[in-house]
Amino acid sequence: MSNSTKFIRDSIHGNLPLDPFEIEVLDYPQLQRLRRVKQLGFISLIYPGANHSRFEHSIGTMHLASKLADQLELSKEDKDLVRIAGLLHDAGHGPFSHVSEAVLGVNHEEITAFVIEKTSIHDKLSEKFDTKEIIDIINGEGKLGPIISGDLDMDRMDYLIRDSHYTGVAYGVIDTERIISNLKLERELILDIKGVQAAESALTARYLMYPSVYQHHTTRIINAMFRRCLRDLINQDSLDPKDMYKYDDADMISICRHSEGLSREMMEKIDNRNLLKRAKVLPVNLFEEPEKIFKIEKEDILKAEEEISEDFNLNRDYTILNIAEYPRFEEMKTLVEFGDKLYHLSEISSIVDALNNARFNSSDLCLFVDKEDVEKVRRLKIENYLDLPEPTRKYDTIHTDQVRLM
């Protein structure tokens, strides 16, 4: 380790070394902004300790990518490349992370590519790297892409551990050393059979974090309220979506508080935790083809909200139909080497196979309304307003796969 190496003390991984070039990149405003963007958006209103930032996660991802590069015995040039990609992979996140992303209609990876290519940080990065190679890695492309964005990548590994630590839930305890030491890189990251139990632990952590943190019902209510607030600002031309990568959380809250009409009212409700309430819940595992719930068109949702608000005399602005995020568990597709053959993790592990079958058990379609209106919709049936799949007849076996996990 050279004398010019500096360290950042991280609460998860300990001392993280950075070379002089990485320090210079880190000091650019495009990355310093991430200090002021919460990793979990508004989840601190449910878990008060969840105030960690995208900045912390970025340096954590860089650190784990570096450890994997050492395990894979990559060249110094390739190791430096995956380190800088890990550092930059979330540079395009808008305020409150994924919450604002849903309103913009463009994913943060595309905005990250714009930040790398079209802002002042590009010239600095170009002194040492081909910026297109950095973008490829962030998008999971090329030989090094799976390290940052793949089925069992270092981005996911860091945020599971970090989110678990700061929320205080006990699900994200993952043996990263075991996983990293049993990975090799070909066209994809391939896990040795000896690392399967650690991978099962990581996937189980994701499965349990999904309903308890990422898709907690109060999290979904606040996110839905804030998205409606953002859409109102955009419709008023008070906010240009193209500039979202410049703002941090405090900027966005300030804009909302100083606006007029719905966006200001909604922000006041969030500030004072005067939140909408769940009036109706329709679990997706009550349907024969639950995947179809997640494919309902946005226009159909808006039309149903309109009809519900008219039929039950509700405030249209505070009538929200919300579908949980699709439970994607990419780790299930991780390739495992057993003997001289490759298998998907779900083929090797009965635990992972059960998780795959049980993944819709925590997802639902909800109606959120103002708390004064909950009683008004007591007799409402969501299925009267949306074209939903056929209901299942297997009500008594809904949690069979969860029982198998025991």
Count how many residues are written for the chain.
406
Q: What is the mean pLDDT of each run of 10 residues along the chain (406 residues)?
A: 82 96 97 97 95 97 98 97 98 88 83 96 98 97 95 93 92 88 94 94 89 94 95 91 92 94 96 96 93 95 97 97 90 87 91 88 96 95 95 60 49
CA separation for the pair 346, 331 (Å, rounded) = 9
Residue 401: predicted pLDDT? 52
Measured between alpha carbons, how far is 383 from 139 in angstroms, rounded to an integer? Answer: 38
Which pair of structure tokens corresponds to residue 100? 């604002």
pLDDT of residue 406: 43
| Structural domains of the chain sorted by starting position, each given as residue range(s) with its CATH number in brackets | 6-216 (1.10.3210.10), 276-327+362-406 (no CATH)
Q: Which CA distances in Å does 85 have to 89, 137, 148, 251, 359?
A: 6, 7, 7, 26, 31
256-274: string of b/e by CB count within 10 Å (b at 16+)? beebeebbbebbebbeeee
Looking at 119-216, list the stretches that DSSP marks H as alpha helix, in order from N- to C-terminal side: 121-126, 131-138, 145-148, 154-167, 176-181, 196-209
pLDDT of the residue at 105: 75
> How does DSSP assign 308-369, residue by residue?
HHHHTT--GGG-EEEEPPP---GGGG-EEEETTEEEEHHHH-HHHHHHHHHTTTT-EEEEEE
Check if the beta carbon of residue 335 is closer than 8 Å to that of residue 342. Answer: yes
Distance from C-alpha of 23 to C-alpha of 361, rounded to nearest angstrom: 45
Q: What is the pLDDT of residue 147?
A: 97
